[in-house]
Structure 1
Amino acid sequence: MSTEVMNKEILRGGQFLVKETQCDDIFTLEDLNEEQKMMRESTKEFVDRELWGHWERFESKDYAYTESCMRKAGELGFLSIAVPEAYGGMGMGFVDTMLVCDYISGATGSFSTAFGAHTGIGTMPITLYGTEEQKKKYVPKLASGEWFGAYCLTEPGAGSDANSGKTKAVLSEDGKYYSITGQKMWISNAGFCNLFIVFARIEDDKYITGFIVENDPENGITLGDEEKKLGIHSSSTRQVFFNDTRVPVENMLSERGNGFKIAMNALNVGRIKLAAACLEAQRRVTNEAVRYASERVQFKTPIINFGAIKAKIAQMATNAYAGESACYRAAKNIEDRIAIRVAEGNTHQEAELKGVEEYAIECSILKVAVSEDVQNTTDEGIQVFGGMGFSADAPMEKAWRDARIARIYEGTNEINRMLAVGMLVKKAMKGHVDLLGPATAVGEELMGIPSFETPDFSALFSEEKDLIARLKKVFLMVAGSAVQKFGPDLEKHQQLLLAAADILIEIYMAESTILRTEKNAKRFGEDAQKAQIAMSKLYLYNAVDLTVQRAKEAIVSFAEGDEQRMMLMGLKRFTKYVNQPNVVELRTIIADKVAADNAYKFD
């Protein structure tokens, strides 16, 4: 572990809400080393050569081409980035795995899904929970692309409630194998995988158990037809039926009853990787929109010059920039936490599991924010193209359809919103994040007399960082009062949780964006970061607006009389600008920069 990691204070998951983060303590895309930059370029070259130019094949349900591209990815080492060297992988850090997941996923949702299902939930459960024998037997084949993996958790009656699955595993009389019987659905890679991670219940156990199951049609495994889907047309998605499928007892994954824990931890990693997988899609859609708008002439001028189009391009670029900022901030935190645990004597398995679990709140935040941003970006991309955007002959229509699944993958966004707040409250109860002290201080501030002094906001982002600190007070005011009022019954008030989650999400995303730009302005100069400064201010402006809306909705749902009036006054105080930004000017700066570059070039 580097001295730098050892010497800097790394915030625990969720602590961003109650502790100030310095810009020098976050990692950004501009911090990539030369090896990482080369990896990014080789990934982009593969995507341009094998994927981007063949999007029509993916749209025509060419499952064989998806499989072929996956094999090529395996030959080039892209499937082995996160796999330890001992099992045939490259053993690279968490940031590196995020980087490849990001840039390999932008061309087509079909390949992105196949890649994510294989490298994540198809391989990772074995590397993190498997025995030494299991890892030596299966992981090298998965890392090379000789074999492909799939993940069988969802059932017709078990979706978000993953532990309610009905698939059964019955131990044989001689104790040598389990017979698995049940139905799994929405299984990505089912049509060409060699191995399934299957979750089933043994007897009447409270929790499900994980198994490694080789795909052998002669062992009671049958597949349904390829599903007809809105998007990701060449992602093989089938139902899988197990009928007395024999699985050796040595293929149980981890311990009996540990399946639910495996599934949840796999989802934590999957959520931040899914966010990364939405980034390059945003960049490429933005690029296509900018190029089309520069070439499309109406009323004797390219439509890129129209203010209405500039507003769209600016927002598309801003959302991509914010997503990058937050994703790589969290990825480096996870990588550093893993390094600390390894230095403390944890195994690779223990370190990675606990390192990712520590930032489960941030993983849920990113999954929600970036999956919704990619949907909005593709929607605006269609709008920029106008009638052509609605045509299947142009790339925007398929990008919009492919993006839609991201809000459902890895737990729906509604589930993840409630999880983010719920996990934060649980961390507070365990003493891992001090919410009580700051929430009490906010309550006392509401009762006190506000200061009427005009602060000095002359330094770059001084007002914006002050605003973010006040947005944190809004969350503490709303969530603190809600916890006090409802206690353990808070989870029953889902609409309140959704509102609180939106505030939490905007805080993390806006803060990450501003810290990234502040760091880069210090080392590259403010003149070189004009558009990035504008994007940071625009994102925060939108975050403040959304916070006001969602906080007001939450406050009036549970507070009445004097308490309600006091909280609404506090909301107004905490979200007030001293120097209101010129939003039209910010959008123009951003759009003009993207137009001049004829592409999104902020990464």
Structure 2
Amino acid sequence: MDFSLNEDQLMMRKMVLDFVEEEVIPQAMIIDKTQEFPLTLIRKMGQLGLMGISIPEAFGGSGLDFLSYILAIEEIARGSATTAIILETHTSIGTLPILYFGTEEQKRKYLPKLARGEMIGAFALTESNSGSDASSIVTSAERRGDHYILNGGKRFITNAGYAGVYTVLASTNRALGNKGITAFLLDANTSGLSIGKAEEQMGLHGSSTCELIFEDVIIPVENRLGEEGQGFKIAMSLLDGGRIGVGAQALGIAQAAFEAALAYSQERVQFKKAICNFQGIQFMLADMATQLEAARFLIYHAATLQSLGLPYSKEASMAKLFASDAAMKVTTDAVQILGVYGYTREYKVERYLRDAKITQIYEGTNQIQRILIAKHLRK
């Protein structure tokens, strides 16, 4: 498959590269230390059209294809994984549910604000006892006339506390299992919704990951996303695209770690020569470069299939699995090449290692990805 980028994609990537170099990279270490949500960067991404990169122009977006979006995530993650995951969540599982499954009224209400970055999107599926087994959620939504009453809670919700709208999955008929799960659009200022515990994370400092609490939340029927009982299907269809996004995030982190390790190896002198001249270091760098290229091809392949409207579930799982495992290997080796300096916060590579780990966990753990891939092999 030809991955030559067209003119629009090249222009978009150049714009993102400039933004990353001028705005994102200078803020990345500060965000990591202060753990502050990077609202200024989010607003600037809105002004550049990145918050609405996949939204059609008719709804105020940039109207670019899915591969363009993946290219943007990759480059932003190279500068700041925190900023990348905010955009990735906002787009793939915060905005696209409305674009793909929303009514015309829902699209006109939410998409222009999401595209401009005036509103951030989030997706609320995970619960304390419902992670990989998404069908076991216990949050409930009871129909009462022209509205639903939502009760329960969600955990580990990215962008929580800053999002303007949440796509919430709740059980409307527990007896039906995953066929009784329904999706709803919940405005952040709705009475009965509160933000609970904020997680202290190993990496992605600055990304807001919190608990959501629902206490007799009234949701009008017109805020239901899709039909009753369609929620699980909606969630699963969105996670495929989200997995490609996480793969792109992992790739961007790994690329930054590789570049840092390569530059250091060319500057660090031991035994009267730069350490890049030692075969042991050369082998590590060669392996890192190869893993990056392989991950990039898997990710671009999956993204291209999505853009073409072709089946891509298996390819999305493969891309996420390989890229996130590669990111952990590359960032670990980058720390090793820098030695004790790599273990200190004076250098960036320890941050890359901390940020990379989560890519093996969210949007479906890599163990789940292997199960999904194996199922496709049996068809």
TM-score by length of 1: 0.61
Q: In the alignment, is residue 89 of structure 1 matched against residue 61 of structure 2?
A: yes
For residues 194 and 181 of structure 1, the distance between their equivalents in structure 2, rounded to whole angstroms, comes to: 19
- Within 5 A, what are the aligned runs for 1:65-464? 66-172=38-144, 175-204=145-174, 205-206=176-177, 207-216=180-189, 219-336=191-308, 338=309, 355=310, 358-425=311-378, 428=379
Q: 2:24 maps to what in 1? A: 51
1:82-103 deviation digits (Å, cap 9, x = unpaired): 1112211122222222222221
Q: Which amino acid aligns with 2:369?
A: N
Q: State which structure, 1 or 2, has the greater radius of gyration over its C-alpha atoms.
A: 1
Structure 1 residue 324: deviation in Å?
1.4
Structure 1: runs of 5+ lacking an equivalent? 1-25, 339-354, 429-603
| Paired positions, count | 376
Structure 1 residue 63: deviation in Å?
2.4
Structure 1 residue 219: deviation in Å?
0.4
For residues 63 and 181 of structure 1, the distance between their equivalents in structure 2, rounded to whole angstroms, comes to: 30
CA contact (8 A) 1:227 1:238 kept: yes
Partner secondary structure for residue 78 of structure 2: coil
CA contact (8 A) 2:261 2:337 kept: yes
Identity rate of aligned residues, in percent?
Answer: 38
- Within 5 A, what are the aligned runs for 1:495-534? none
Q: Which amino acid aligns with 1:163?
A: S
For residues 62 and 28 of structure 2, the distance between their equivalents in structure 1, rounded to whole angstroms, comes to: 29
For residues 280 and 236 of structure 1, the distance between their equivalents in structure 2, rounded to whole angstroms, comes to: 20
C-alpha change, 1:374 and 1:140, in structure 2 (3 Å) is same
Partner secondary structure for residue 123 of structure 1: helix
For residues 324 and 124 of structure 2, the distance between their equivalents in structure 1, rounded to whole angstroms, comes to: 23
For residues 129 and 35 of structure 2, the distance between their equivalents in structure 1, rounded to whole angstroms, comes to: 30
For residues 223 and 333 of structure 1, the distance between their equivalents in structure 2, rounded to whole angstroms, comes to: 37
Q: Which amino acid aligns with 2:364?
A: G
Structure 1 residue 220: deviation in Å?
0.7
Structure 1 residue 378: deviation in Å?
0.4
CA contact (8 A) 2:73 2:252 kept: no
Q: Which amino acid aligns with 1:188?
A: T
Greater strand fraction, Structure 1 or Structure 2:
2
For residues 221 and 302 of structure 2, the distance between their equivalents in structure 1, rounded to whole angstroms, comes to: 38
Q: 1:431 maps to what in 2? A: none
Structure 1 runs of 4+ with >3 Å offset:
none
CA contact (8 A) 1:108 1:402 kept: no
For residues 370 and 54 of structure 2, the distance between their equivalents in structure 1, rounded to whole angstroms, comes to: 27
Partner secondary structure for residue 410 of structure 1: coil
For residues 169 and 232 of structure 1, the distance between their equivalents in structure 2, rounded to whole angstroms, comes to: 32
Partner secondary structure for residue 197 of structure 2: coil
Q: In the alignment, is residue 63 of structure 1 matched against residue 36 of structure 2?
A: yes
TM-score by length of 2: 0.96
Q: Which amino acid aligns with 2:41?
A: C
CA contact (8 A) 1:181 1:243 kept: yes
Q: Which amino acid aligns with 1:397?
A: E
Q: Tell me whether 32-41 or 141-150 shows the greater mean CA deviation.
A: 32-41
1:339-369 deviation digits (Å, cap 9, x = unpaired): xxxxxxxxxxxxxxxx3xx110111111100
For residues 53 and 93 of structure 1, the distance between their equivalents in structure 2, rounded to whole angstroms, comes to: 29
User: What RMSD in Å do the two structures reach over aligned CA positions?
Assistant: 1.3
Structure 1 residue 286: deviation in Å?
1.0
CA contact (8 A) 1:27 1:332 kept: no
For residues 9 and 333 of structure 2, the distance between their equivalents in structure 1, rounded to whole angstroms, comes to: 31
For residues 340 and 348 of structure 2, the distance between their equivalents in structure 1, rounded to whole angstroms, comes to: 13
Partner secondary structure for residue 213 of structure 2: strand
Greater helix fraction, Structure 1 or Structure 2:
1
Q: Which amino acid aligns with 1:34?
A: E
For residues 227 and 304 of structure 1, the distance between their equivalents in structure 2, rounded to whole angstroms, comes to: 40
Q: Which amino acid aligns with 2:319?
A: L
CA contact (8 A) 2:51 2:116 kept: yes
For residues 307 and 194 of structure 2, the distance between their equivalents in structure 1, rounded to whole angstroms, comes to: 40
Structure 1 residue 115: deviation in Å?
1.0
Q: 1:462 maps to what in 2? A: none
Q: 1:560 maps to what in 2? A: none
Partner secondary structure for residue 41 of structure 1: helix
For residues 132 and 360 of structure 1, the distance between their equivalents in structure 2, rounded to whole angstroms, comes to: 27
Structure 1 residue 397: deviation in Å?
0.6
CA contact (8 A) 1:58 1:234 kept: yes
Partner secondary structure for residue 211 of structure 1: strand
For residues 302 and 203 of structure 1, the distance between their equivalents in structure 2, rounded to whole angstroms, comes to: 65
For residues 93 and 112 of structure 1, the distance between their equivalents in structure 2, rounded to whole angstroms, comes to: 18
1:368-393 deviation digits (Å, cap 9, x = unpaired): 00010011110000001000000012
Q: 1:27 maps to what in 2? A: 2
Match of 2:15 among 29, 32, 42: 42
Structure 2: runs of 5+ lacking an equivalent? none
Partner secondary structure for residue 141 of structure 2: strand
For residues 181 and 78 of structure 2, the distance between their equivalents in structure 1, rounded to whole angstroms, comes to: 35
Structure 1 residue 280: deviation in Å?
2.3
1:246-265 deviation digits (Å, cap 9, x = unpaired): 11110000010111101101
Partner secondary structure for residue 282 of structure 1: helix
Structure 1 residue 299: deviation in Å?
1.0
Q: Which amino acid aligns with 2:354?
A: R
For residues 203 and 422 of structure 1, the distance between their equivalents in structure 2, rounded to whole angstroms, comes to: 28
